[in-house]
C-alpha cells in the first residue's frame, strides 16, 4: 500500500493517520483548526508537517493530489451530550459539505469518515439519510457501521460510526465491503496502558480527595461504596460522574473531551488517569506519547485523546477496504 497517498482532515492529533501509516500509506498534509491540537500533532509527526487549516476555506486546487481521505468530522452537533443540532449547526454540522467538495474536486478514490454513534438516530435518521445521499450523489458507494474500540485491541469502550466510501467507477455492481469485527493485531490490556507512575496519585493530601469523600456520601452513592472496597481490586476503573459513580473492570468508559474524572486503583492506591495514559488507551504508540509527555499539559492531552480516533479501528477498516479493491 506504499503507493497510496492520503490527507488527514479534521485531524485532531492524528489517531486516524497512525492507523493508515501502519499499513504503509503516506500522508501529504492535514487540516485542523484547533491550534492546541496542531501543536501536539506536530510534536508527533514533525514541525514541518503542512496544516492546510480550515477545510471550509480551502481551495481544493491548492491541495496536492491524493487517493484516500481520512476525516473525523466534528461530532458535537450529533452527540447525545452535544447540541444535537446536526446539519443545522453552521459551524460544525456543515463540515460534511466541505469534505464532499474536496472529495469531488480532487477525484479522491477512497475515504473513511468517523462520527459519534448518535448520528445514526439523529433527527429520526434523517441526518444520516442526508449524508448518505450526499456521498452517493458525489459518486461513492458507501458503507457504514457502528464499531466499538473495545473489540479492536484496546481496553476502552468507544462506540463510533464509521463510513467507508469507494468511487463507483472503480467497482462493479457485485462489489461488497465487509467491516471487520475484531482487531487482527495484539490486544492491549489496562496494565499496558495505566503506566504513568510519576504523578497523579489521588489521596487525602489533596482537597479534591475530600470532595471525593463527600461525593461518595451523596444521595446517589451513600452506603454503596467504601474506600476499602474500591481499593480492594487492582485496576478497578472508577468513573466519577455528576451524580452516580460507575465501576468498570478490565476496561475504561469512553474517553471524551470533557470527561476528566476517571480514577483507577494501582498498588492499593487511587490514581488519576493521565493524558499520557489516555493516548495509550487510544493506541497511540509510546514513541508518540513520549514526545509530548511533560511538554503538553495533562489537561490538554486528556481533551485531545478524548477527541481522537482509535488508530487500531482505522487500521483494520482500511486493511479490509484495500483488500476489497485489490490494493496490496
Regions of the chain with pLDDT less than 70: 75-93, 198-199, 259-260
Query: What's the rounded Cα separation, in Å, for the pair 218 and 175?
Result: 57
Point out which residues pair with 271 in neighbouring strands: 201, 264
Q: What does DSSP say about strands 201-202 and 159-167: parallel, antiparallel, or unpaired?
A: unpaired
Q: Which residue of the set 10, 27, 75, 193 is catalytic? A: 75
* pLDDT for the residue numbered 2: 78
* pLDDT for the residue numbered 90: 45
Active site residue 75: yes
Q: What is the pLDDT of residues 130-187, one digit of tens each?
A: 899 999 999 999 999 999 999 999 999 999 999 999 999 999 989 999 999 999 999 9
Q: Which of 148, 183, 176 is nearest to 162 (CA)?
A: 148
Topology of domain 5-183+310-324, CATH:
Rossmann fold (3.40.50)
Query: What's the rounded Cα separation, in Å, for the pair 179 and 142?
Result: 12
Alpha helices in 106-171 (DSSP H): 118-121, 126-137
Every domain of the chain and the residues it spans: 5-183+310-324, 190-305
Look up the pTM and report it.
0.91
- Cβ-based burial of 253 (10 A; exposed 0-12, middle 13-18, buried ≥19): middle
- On whether the CB atoms of residues 135 and 185 are closer than 8 A, the answer is no
- On whether the CB atoms of residues 111 and 10 are closer than 8 A, the answer is no
Amino acid at each position: 500500500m506504499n503507493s497510496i497517498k492520503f490527507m488527514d482532515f479534521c485531524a485532531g492529533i492524528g489517531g486516524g493517520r497512525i492507523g493508515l501509516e501502519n499499513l504503509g500509506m503516506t500522508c501529504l498534509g492535514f487540516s485542523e483548526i484547533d491550534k492546541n491540537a496542531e501543536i501536539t500533532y506536530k510534536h508527533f509527526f514533525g514541525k514541518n508537517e503542512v496544516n492546510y487549516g480550515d477545510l471550509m476555506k480551502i481551495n481544493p486546487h491548492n491541495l496536492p493530489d491524493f487517493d484516500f481521505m481520512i476525516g473525523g468530522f466534528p461530532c458535537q452537533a450529533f452527540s447525545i451530550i452535544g447540541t444535537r443540532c446536526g446539519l443545522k449547526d453552521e459551524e460544525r454540522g456543515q463540515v460534511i459539505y466541505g469534505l464532499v467538495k474536496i472529495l469531488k474536486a480532487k477525484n479522491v478514490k477512497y475515504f473513511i469518515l468517523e462520527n459519534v454513534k448518535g448520528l445514526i438516530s439523529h433527527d429520526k435518521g434523517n441526518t444520516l439519510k442526508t449524508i448518505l445521499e450526499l456521498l452517493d450523489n458525489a459518486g461513492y458507494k458507501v458503507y457504514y457501521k457502528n464499531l466499538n474500540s473495545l473489540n479492536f485491541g484496546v481496553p476502552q469502550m468507544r462506540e463510533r460510526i464509521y463510513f467507508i466510501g469507494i468511487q463507483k467507477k472503480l467497482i462493479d455492481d457485485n462489489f461488497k465491503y465487509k467491516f471487520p469485527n475484531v482487531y487482527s493485531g495484539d490486544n492491549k490490556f489496562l496494565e499496558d496502558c495505566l503506566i504513568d507512575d510519576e504523578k497523579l496519585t489521588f489521596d487525602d493530601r489533596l482537597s479534591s480527595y475530600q470532595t471525593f469523600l463527600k461525593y461518595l456520601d451523596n444521595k446517589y452513592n451513600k452506603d454503596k461504596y467504601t474506600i476499602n472496597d474500591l481499593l480492594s481490586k487492582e485496576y478497578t476503573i472508577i468513573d466519577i460522574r455528576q451524580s452516580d459513580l460507575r465501576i468498570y473492570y478490565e476496561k475504561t468508559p469512553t474517553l471524551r473531551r470533557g470527561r476528566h474524572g476517571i480514577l483507577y486503583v494501582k498498588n492499593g492506591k487511587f490514581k488519576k488517569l493521565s493524558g499520557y495514559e489516555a493516548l495509550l488507551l487510544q493506541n497511540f504508540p509510546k514513541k508518540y506519547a513520549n514526545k509530548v509527555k511533560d511538554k503538553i499539559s495533562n489537561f490538554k492531552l486528556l481533551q485531545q485523546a478524548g477527541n481522537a480516533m482509535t488508530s487500531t479501528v482505522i487500521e483494520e477498516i482500511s486493511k479490509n477496504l484495500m483488500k476489497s479493491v485489490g490494493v496490496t
